[in-house]
Amino acid sequence: MVASSSPSLSVELNGLKLKNPIIAASGTFGYGLEYAPLGDLGKLGGIVTKGLSMWEEKGNPPPRICETPAGMLNSIGLDNIGIENFITEKLPQLIRYDTAFIVNIWGRETDDYIKAAERLDEAKGIAALEVNISCPNIKKGGITFGTDPSVTFKLVQAVRKRTALPLLVKLTPNVTDIILIARSAEDAGANALSLINTLLGMEIDVSTRRPSLANITGGLSGPAIRPVALQMVYQTAKKVNIPLVGVGGISSVADVIKFMLAGASAVQIGTANFFDPTICWRLVDELEEYLRNDNISDVNQLVGAMREE
């Protein structure tokens, strides 16, 4: 009973079509071009850019990263070239790759998000926006947007009005009840939700008695947080009606499948790009192979298919 044709890998996130569910996560794949020497970007389901703002942002002083058990901390501080530079310098190079470019945006005020959405709405070659309401590395804005349901609602609604692009809203795990935030984003018109961003964390260098990051605290990512992300995807999938994109510690095709079984329609690969820089490409192949071996004709059959009885 071998499947006669290739399994279908394409997924649709409520208005955003992807050729496969493997997306490179924001902040871990640069603007895409950084990884171009390693493979054909056009093979990937999608690429989310580093978080962009209306202005050029310097970011936090170094050291900005530090390794932790099965994870890492970062306090990049949303260092980015600004949306204008992105549109003029990066986008023209990106559009020759047949993949979905998703622009991750952030701001300090609602207005920053609105302007970003308006500006990007005009640009050609962008598949969707990912609204980052969850970065733990900026002191003002950012994190607060994603921890209060009504603030989330208002922000997403405001952005929704300014762009016809599909909106992914990226949620923070640093909340008591992620479902409240997820529902607010859904009600405000998000097409899909990406979860999770990094967990707040910190590390100290005992020999110097100083924090390992100049910014003192940072965001924890990598395999260490995978169980937290998987749990949040699972819980949220049961309570919202829009597709979810699972992010957090994914580093193998088994992990991809776990997130889909828990209810994610697609996944993002973050920290794993650092310790396994060709992983995104390999996952596309391995996912296809898995489906073929298990005689699954369509990857969407995995979504939410965990057995609970």
Ligand X SMILES: Cc1cc2nc3c(=O)[nH]c(=O)nc-3n(C[C@H](O)[C@H](O)[C@H](O)COP(=O)(O)O)c2cc1C
- Give whichever of 157 and 301 is closer to its own copies, judged by the CB atom: 301
- Give whichever of 36 and 202 is closer to its own copies, judged by the CB atom: 202
Enumerate binding residues for ligand X (CB under 6 A): 25-28, 50-51, 74, 76, 78, 104, 132, 135, 170, 197-198, 221-222, 225, 247-250, 269-272
66 lies in the binding site for another protein (CB under 8 A) = yes
CA gap 175, 153 in Å, rounded: 15
Judging by DSSP bridges, how do beta strands 71-74 and 22-24 pair with one another?
A: unpaired
- Binds 51, which of another protein, ligand X, its own copies, none (CB < 5 to 8 A, cut-off by type)? ligand X
Question: Of 234, 237, 250, 268, which lies in the binding site for its own copies, with binding defined by CB under 8 A?
Answer: 234
Residue 179 has which token pair? 């479902």
Query: Can you tell me which residue has the tokens 């329609």?
Result: 265
Query: Can you tell me which residue has the tokens 């649709």?
Result: 12
Residue tagged active-site, from 135, 168, 190, 303: 135
**Nearest alpha carbon to residue 40 among 22, 16, 15, 53:** 22
Q: Which of residues 11-40 bind another protein (CB under 8 A)?
A: 27-30, 33-38
Catalytic annotation on 135? yes
- Give whichever of 46 and 270 is closer to ligand X, judged by the CB atom: 270
Judging by DSSP bridges, how do beta strands 71-74 and 65-68 pair with one another?
A: antiparallel
Q: Is the CB of residue 129 less than 8 Å from the CB of residue 159?
A: yes
223 lies in the binding site for another protein (CB under 8 A) = yes
301 lies in the binding site for its own copies (CB under 8 A) = no
Least gap, CB of 144 to its own copies (angstroms): 10
Indicate the residue whose CB is closest to ligand X: 27
CA gap 74, 63 in Å, rounded: 9
179 lies in the binding site for another protein (CB under 8 A) = no
CA gap 29, 162 in Å, rounded: 27
Cis peptide before 279 (omega within 30 of 0): no
Question: Of 225, 242, 272, 280, which lies in the binding site for its own copies, with binding defined by CB under 8 A?
Answer: 225
Q: Which of residues 85-144 bind its own copies (CB under 8 A)?
A: none
CA gap 225, 209 in Å, rounded: 26
**Nearest alpha carbon to residue 152 among 185, 176, 177:** 185
Least gap, CB of 276 to another protein (angstroms): 7
Catalytic site positions: 135
